[in-house]
Every structure is written in C-alpha cells, then in structure tokens.
Amino acid sequence: MAISFSYFLIILLIFFFPLHNLAQNNGRVSTSSSVSATYESTPWLSPSGDFAFGFQKAEENKDQFLLCIWYENIEEKTIVWHANMSDLVPQGSILYLDPQRGLILNDPQGNALWRTDIVFGNVDYGFMNDTGNFVVMGSDSSGPLWESFGNPTDTLLPNQILERGSFLVSQKSEANFTQGRFYLRMLDNGNLVLVTQSVPSNMDYDDEYYNSQTFDSTNATNSGDKLVFEENGVMSVLKRNNQRQILTPRSIPSASQNYHRVTLNFEGVLTHYYHSRISDSSGWNVLWSQPNNICIEIDGDKGTGACGYNNVCNLGTNNRPVCNCPQGYSLVDPNDAYGDCKPDFSISCDEVGRGSPEDFYSFITIRDTDWPKSDFQLISPSTEQDCQNACLNDCFCAVAIYRSNSCWKKKLPLSNGRIDTNLNSKAFMKIRKDGVPGLPIPGSHQKNSWRIWAIFASSLLGSSVLVNVLLIGVFCWGFFHIYKKKVNVLRPTSHVTDSFCHSFTYKELVEATDEFKEELGRGAYGIVYKGVMSGGSRSVVAIKKLDRVAHEAEKDFMTEVNVISQTHHKNLVRLIGYCNEGPHRLLVYEYMSNGTLASFIFSDPRPTWSQRTNIAMGIARGLAYLHEECSTQIIHCDIKPQNILLDDYHVARISDFGLSKLLKINQSRTDTNIRGTRGYVAPEWFRTSPVTVKVDVYSFGVLLLEIITCRKCLENDESYGTEAILTYWVLDCFQEGKLETLVQSDIEGLNDKKQLETFVMVGIWCIQEDPSTRPTMRKVCQMLEGSVGVTTPPCPYNFSNTI
Ligand SMILES: *[C@@H]1O[C@H](CO)[C@@H](O)[C@H](O)[C@H]1NC(C)=O
Ligand SMILES: *[C@@H]1O[C@H](CO)[C@@H](O)[C@H](O)[C@H]1NC(C)=O
Ligand SMILES: *[C@@H]1O[C@H](CO)[C@@H](O)[C@H](O)[C@H]1NC(C)=O
Ligand SMILES: *[C@@H]1O[C@H](CO)[C@@H](O)[C@H](O)[C@H]1NC(C)=O
C-alpha cells in the first residue's frame, strides 16, 4: 500500500513537474521562466485558474499565435488583453521573463518582437493575478514595474482603472487583432469619450460619438479624474472632488458569481458584459452599452460612419451595428463587411450627350435610408418624380433622398449611411441598367471579346469529337456566366399598349399564390409559382417571379410584356397579365396541367409515337410563328424540353419566350450574350457569324431527336459509352441504316418507317453546323407534315473552321 502510494506520487511529480512548476501553481512566475508559442504549451495561470497568460493560436492563420491573457474557465475564447503588435507571431516564438528588462518576446530566430521595456529596477517575479492583471514585480516591492492593466487593449476588467490620458482601442475585426479606428479615451479635461480616428494620420476626429459630460469648464475640481471599474462591477467616472458619475445601471449581477468585462468592440460599441462563473450555458450577456445607436451617433463629416463608404448601417442586437451594401453595390474587400462598398457599375459624365440618361440608368427605391453627409444640392420644394428626374439628368448624382417635399442630390462616395425609421424618407438609388455596359460604348469592346472566344472555339473544332462536345458544354456555361450581365444591349423601345394584358398589383399576386407557397418550377429568370385568381372564374395560373430583370427599367419590362402579350398561338403559353410595382416584376401565365415535356418524354413508359409526333409538330409550328408571324420577331434562344409545357390535352406549348432577346424585323443579329442550355446551343454562338433565328432551329433539331428517341441529348451515365451524345449516335444509326435501334421496341414508330425516317432526317438538317444550311421553321413544319419532301441531309459536322 505504502509502496504503491509513493509510486503514485512519483508518477504525479513526473507528469506535472515539467508542466507546472511550483511558482506557477500560485500565480507566481519566477525570473528566467518562459512559455513558448506552440500548440501544446502550457500558459501561466492565476491562482484560481480563472485567467491564463500565454499564446493562443490564431483562428485563421495556421501556425500563428497571439500573446494574450484570456479567461481559462470559459468555453468561449475570450481575450482580455493582448500584446500590441501589428502582427501575429510565428510558432516557436518564446516569451521570457528577463531579470532586468521584464517580459521579452522573441521569434524562433531570437529577434525581439515585443517587450515590456522596463527601464528601472530589477525584476523579482511575475504574477498572474486572479483579477486578470499580469504584473511584473520589482525587488524593491514598491509596486509593479509593469502591469497589463496599465497597458490595456480593448477591454477593462474589475479593479482596473483608466487614468486621464489613457485609452482603449478596438480591434480591426472580430479575428484581426491589429488596431482598429475606434477609441475610448479618458481625456485630460475629465471627459470620457468615444471617438474615431483618421487613417493614416492617427488623429482623432473631433466629433465624439459618446461623451460622459464630466468636464466642468468653470471649476476643474468638478471634472472627471479617471474611469474606475470597481471590484463589484460598478463602472464610474471618478471626479477630482471624489464624486462618482456612475455609468452602470443600478442593479448589477453579483461579481462573486459572474465575470464582468467592458470591451470596446471592433465595430465601435462599448459594451459591459457579464458571464456566470459557474455555468457556460448562457454565455456572455450585455449589461449596458454606449452609444445607443452608433449608426446615427457617428455623425461627423470628416470620415465615414460606423460602416465604410457607400455602406449602410443598421442597428442589430445589443446596439451593435450591421452593415450592408445597398443594392447595386458590393464590398471592396469581401471579407470586411464593415468596410467600403463600390458600385457594380460606372456612373460617368462622359456619357452626357451620347444618349438619353434613361437608356443608361434606372432607379431603385429604398425606404428610410440616408447618407446625410454626401449632399451637393438641395431642391425644395420638389415632388418624388421631379426628384428622381433631377438625379437622372445629373451625371454627378448617385442617389437622391426625398423627404418632406424636399430632394437632396448626393454624390459618391456616400458616407455615414444609416437606416433610420424616423426619417420617413425615400432614397432613389441610381443603377446602371442591366446589360448597358460602361464606357467604352457598346460594340467595340464586345466584338473583341467575341473574337477571342471565337478563335478559342475554332481551335476546339479541330480536336476529337467527344472532347469537343464536352468542352463546348463547359464553354457554354462559362460564356453564359461571363455574358449574363450583358443581356439586351439598348433594346428597341416601342409604345406600350397593354390592351390584351391585365395589370395586377403585387398584393393581388401575393394573395393568389398564398404568399408564394407552391413552387411549380425554376427557370432561367426566376421561380414559377402556382396561383388561383380570385373572382368569378377562380382560374388556376402560373406566376413567374422575375429575379434577373428586377433592375430593369419599367420601360424595358413593359416593352417585353407588350410583345409577349401580343403573341397568340395555340402552341404558346399565353400571358394573362403582369405586375410591375416597385421592385416587383411578375408575369402571370395560363397554368399547364401536364408539366414539362422533359418529364413526359423521359419517363417510363415512354409516350406513344403519335403523341410524340404531334408534340414535335406543335413545337415546330409555335416556333415558326415566333420567327415569322409576330409583329416583332422573337428568337427563343433556349429551346429545350424543360421549356415546353403540356396542356390538358397534351398539346405542346412553348414557354419562356420573349423575355431575353427581342429582334426587330430586318435586324439579323444582336450583340448579346450566349443564352441557352448545354447540349442545345447552336455552334454559331461561338463564332462571329450572326446569331439568328437559326439558333432555335438547331435547338429544335436536338429536341426533335430527343422526342424521337426519348433520350436526353447528353447522357452522363457511363453505360451509354460511345452513345452518350445523342446526335452522334443518331447520325451513326442513320448512316448505317439502323433506324429501328433509335426507337427500340416502339411498334408504332417501327410501323411507320417512312415517318420515322422523315423525322430523323429533319432533325439532322436542323443540327447542321452551318446555320444557312438549316431549314427555316416554316420549312421544318412542311417537312414534318409531309407536304414537302425531305432530301438526305449532309453530315452536319464537316463545316470548316473559318471564322
Ligand atoms: C505598444 O504600447 C506601447 C506602450 O503603450 C507603445 O509604446 C508602443 O508604441 C505600442 N506598439 C504598437 C505597435 O502599437
Ligand atoms: C492581486 O489583485 C488584488 C486585487 O486587486 C490585490 O489586492 C493584490 O495585491 C494583487 N496581487 C499582486 C501580487 O499584485
Ligand atoms: C489585419 O489587418 C491588417 C490591416 O488591414 C492587415 O495588414 C493584416 O494582414 C491583418 N492580419 C491578419 C492576421 O489578417
Ligand atoms: C469648485 O467646486 C467645489 C465643489 O465641487 C467648491 O467647493 C469650490 O469652492 C469651487 N471652486 C470655485 C473656484 O468655484
């Protein structure tokens, strides 16, 4: 028994002696002790174990450490002091208590990174006090030679005092410990203030965003002396006449059961927190904070506000600010949400005279948002419309604020942005229209990039077939993303007559869809919801909420609505109405009960041959109508089975037309982005050759082959092997005269071999690489119906690489 006990003791000693020498167990740190910046280093602990002094690993930067003091018994890492270095220190750095100079921090190579710079006296020992104060005691014991409480960073603890002339400074951000721009200062005159600093001069701006008002200009003895954080958690400005101005509320959670701290947060709010000493469950709670609304209190005109330039401040929980760039703007540094925002477009006076401003810009209305320091002109009295027009026609104006019959024009950069519901104002933000590029003026720039892409694409045409098609798929995707911003360069405008089309209010559509409850599908432009119109008929509708074109001007939207509403064909989905209200753009269509063609033809069992041929002919007629019979020619640009819907009688109805690309008759081509979907996109999208209605013919050809075979144009499943690409497989079968393979066990199709052959040949004619070789949709209709004979198509892929 006795032997085993002494073994136990020895084991204990072996284990613990190297880690905690006796001096550390009672908070004392003897001279020449050290602690190193490694993952398993043991910090210097206070006697109770509440506080630790040592290195914490940086959250994001691997192998980087911060020298700091933290709460050891709290789950959530909370640092109360850190060495004021501009950078983190590398792994292997060593903190050392030097008998002459106090604490010294060296990097692994032995270069000094930081030190306490004690000039007088010999160091006796260091001590990590239970208050959270690390002190370096001198041998003459007249008081500490250095203490962390005397060199605060962003936090004060009970028993800590902020003398006149001292300050707290915020961190740069939650995870970056370099100095930020917010200061809490105990001024020489006796006031406790919160201020921001200018960078890089590091001078305080003179307008404080909090002031304790403890300066008496007539009698200095009534002025403040220091900021005192008492042991019981009460914080006050102690005056020179020993009176106290208490900052904390009357009732304070007991300090014996709670940790208290006051921290100047990185976004500039000074907050008094408390945390139970016993349980971690409720974390840090807020007792009080200053200022009450930092978004409004930082109100100087010499720098920006709580959030960066062009940013907008909104008060979040615990009086802390939340910054959000306004619509059309984005963060300069995506990792710094509190920083500056930049417009996603250009506002330029160079455009004056090159077109009417409404061709370039539209407005978004934002409520109760203001940038009170960025005015350059006041117009009063004014109406909302006048205010907007004034900003539209002023090339300096970035936003106009309208409030109580007055209009303030504002210029970039906007500062002190805030949301204030007391304002009752409207901000008209000027936004460049989607697809209207900045200078240089449309055309020149775009042609060049087209050429580069085209050369790239042409080089692809030389390589292997499968690789080609895969690359083209990737290409389409890339193209689509690069150019998706450039939809519709300066669209033709036409007079709006919405005689066929009903205008709904947004509220009506919210009600019709029961707050957009049932989603029918998602398309390139937004989500489609099911709705029921009130009134006599209670008819079911499909409501498409356009998100892509929300920035578009009313006129463009209305132009498109007008064009779509004038189309009437039994193979098109009919537009019933629209909503064009504030930011809301919605289209109301007839409801198609049998879903998409995709789910119909790619399902098991496959639909009958006659159902499929009828559908194919319907689509061809609908397209012929769009290309040749409407007053404004419409190129669909995205024909695929997901965009063909089926009505109650399984009649094919083309949807999603007229939304993106409108061509006037006589115009053979617009400079526009690649639209469409991988597998269905015509090759001329990659060339400088014109994009015409023939792109739809190509897509229709692919679709037709899908309808014939009930197979997708690209099969990802490896089991298809060399047959993965539908067009190649069809071509092979056609050249080898094995058409029956395409329809497999489809008796009906096999019985009418003539029609099968016709359909396959039409499909191959449509996917010719050279657009001029492709038939028109009118001709396609005639061939499918059998009124015009079909000749044997050439191989679609021998198109030469000329660009
Ligand atoms: C750190 O604090 C000391 C004393 O307050 C000061 O002299 C020194 O300039 C500070 N260093 C940095 C990098 O801020
Ligand atoms: C630790 O802090 C307490 C409370 O402020 C103080 O009384 C004590 O002297 C401190 N100990 C040392 C060694 O500084
Ligand atoms: C902290 O911010 C400063 C100033 O913006 C920057 O130079 C530094 O690299 C940042 N440090 C870390 C660890 O991100
Ligand atoms: C200043 O105020 C104190 C009381 O706070 C008073 O005793 C003293 O006489 C005043 N001094 C002057 C010069 O008014």
What pLDDT is recorded for position 680? 83
Any idea which ligand is nearest the CA of 177?
3
pLDDT score recorded for residue 214: 94
Measured in angstroms, how far is the CA atom of residue 131 from the centroid of ligand 2? 8
User: Binning pLDDT at 50, 70 and 90, where does residue 126 land?
Assistant: very high
Asked if residue 765 has pLDDT above 60, the reply is yes
Rounded distance from Cα 151 to ligand 1 centre (Å): 9
- Where would I find the beta strands (DSSP E) of 605-697? 644-646, 652-654
Cis peptide upstream of residue 326 (ω within 30 degrees of 0): no
Average pLDDT over residues 334-345: 91
Most confident option among 54-68, 231-245, 651-665, 700-714: 231-245
Decide: 84 in ligand 1 pocket, CB within 6 A.
yes
Question: Is residue 646 very low, low, confident or very high in pLDDT (cuts 50, 70, 90)?
Answer: very high
Quick one: pLDDT at residue 549? 58
Please tell me the distance from the alpha carbon of residue 633 to that of residue 675, in angstroms, as a whole number: 17
Residues 6+ apart with CB under 8 A from 311: 304, 323, 324, 325, 338, 339, 340, 341, 417
Identify whether 343 is preceded by a cis peptide bond (ω within 30 of 0): no
Report the atom number in ligand 4 closest to the C-alpha of 241.
Answer: 5
How much is the average pLDDT of 261-274? Answer: 96
Closest ligand to residue 221's CA: 4
What's the rounded Cα separation, in Å, for the pair 658 and 632? 10
pLDDT higher than 60, residue 698: yes
Sign of the torsion angle spanned by Cα atoms 529, 530, 535, 539: positive
DSSP 351-371: GTTSS-HHHHEEEEEEESEE-
Instruction: Find the 657 Cα to ligand 4 centroid distance in Å.
Output: 84
List the domains of the chain with CATH numbers: 23-147 (2.90.10.10), 152-291 (2.90.10.10), 297-441 (no CATH), 444-490 (no CATH), 502-590 (3.30.200.20), 597-785 (1.10.510.10)
Best CA proximity match to 527, nearest among 505, 502, 550, 511: 550
Q: Are the C-beta atoms of residues 339 and 311 closer than 8 Å to each other?
A: yes
Ligand nearest to the CA of 129: 2
Residue, of 275 and 476, whose pLDDT is higher: 275
Which residues are near ligand 3 (CB < 6 Å)?
61, 88, 172, 176, 178
Is 131 near ligand 2, meaning CB less than 6 Å away?
yes
User: What residue owns the CA closest to ligand 1's atom 2?
Assistant: 84
Three-class secondary structure of residue 152 per DSSP: coil
Going by C-beta distance under 8 Å and a sequence separation of 6 or more, which residues neighbour residue 212?
191, 192, 193, 224, 237, 245, 247
Instruction: Say what the pLDDT of residue 465 is.
Output: 43
What pLDDT is recorded for position 750? 81
Ligand 2 binding pocket includes 135 (Cβ within 6 Å): yes
Pairing of strands 155-156, 144-147: unpaired
Of 178, 179, 199, 335, the one to substitute when testing ligand 3's pocket (max ligand atoms within 8 A of C-beta) is 178
280 is catalytic: no
Please report the pLDDT score of residue 190 as a whole number.
Answer: 95
Mean pLDDT of the chain: 82
* pLDDT tens per residue across span 545-565: 887 654 545 566 777 788 888
C-alpha 256/C-alpha 578 separation (Å) is 65
Residue 631: predicted pLDDT: 73
Q: Which residues line ligand 4 (CB under 6 A)?
A: 219, 221-222, 241
Q: Hey, what are 53's tokens?
A: 């002094």
Q: What is the CA(53)–ligand 2 centre distance, in A?
A: 16
- Dump pLDDT digits (tens) for 517-529: 888 887 767 788 9
Percent of the residues in the chain that have a pLDDT greater than 70, as a whole number: 83
Q: Does the C-beta of 151 come closer than 6 Å to ligand 1?
A: yes
pLDDT for position 583 = 79
Give the list of residues 6+ apart from residue 2 with CB closer than 8 angstroms, or none: none
Picking from 33-37, 107-111, 266-270, 349-353, which range would have the lowest pLDDT averaged per residue? 349-353
Q: Which two tokens stand for residue 768?
A: 């010719």
pLDDT at residue number 90: 93
Instruction: Give distance in angstroms: CA of 214 to centre of ligand 4.
Output: 15
Closest-CA residue, ligand 3 atom 4, reads 178
- 751 Cβ neighbours under 8 A, 6+ residues apart: none
Residues ≥6 apart with Cβ < 8 Å to 269 = 289, 290, 291, 294, 318, 319, 320, 321
545 is in an annotated binding site: yes
Q: In this predicted structure, which of 207-216, 464-473, 650-659, 674-683 has the lowest mean pLDDT?
A: 464-473
The number of the ligand nearest the C-alpha atom of 218 reads 4
Q: Output the CA 7–ligand 2 centroid distance in Å.
A: 38
In sequence order, which residues have a C-beta less than 8 Å from that of residue 647 and are 6 or more positions away?
590, 592, 593, 594, 653
Banded pLDDT at 495 (limits 50, 70, 90): very low
CB 426 within 8 A of CB 435: no
Q: Which DSSP helix (H) or strand (E) runs through 227?
A: strand 224-229
Ligand 1 atom closest to Cα of 83?
1
* Beta bridge pairs of residue 179: 171
**Residue 613: strand, helix, or coil:** helix
Region of 501 on the Ramachandran plot (φ > 0 left; ψ -120 to 50 alpha; else beta)? beta
Amino acid 770: pLDDT: 87
pLDDT band at 784 (very low <50, low <70, confident <90, very high): very high
Buried b (16+ CB within 10 A) or exposed e, 406-430: ebbbbbbbbbbbbbbeebebbbbbb
Q: Measured from the CB, is residue 86 less than 6 Å from ligand 1? A: yes
CA nearest neighbour of 79 among 49, 58, 106: 58
Question: From atom 10 of ligand 1, which residue's Cα is the shortest distance away?
Answer: 84
Among residues 225, 394, 434, 638, the one annotated as catalytic is: 638
Q: Is the shortest distance between the CB of 166 and ligand 1 below 6 Å?
A: no
Q: Tell me the per-residue pLDDT of 741-753, one tens digit each, with 9 for 90 and over.
A: 888 777 877 888 8
Cβ atoms within 10 A of the Cβ of 379, count? 17
Q: Is the pLDDT of residue 156 over 90?
A: yes
Q: Which atom of ligand 3 is nearest to the CA of 58?
A: 13
Q: Calculate mean pLDDT across residues 589-607.
A: 88
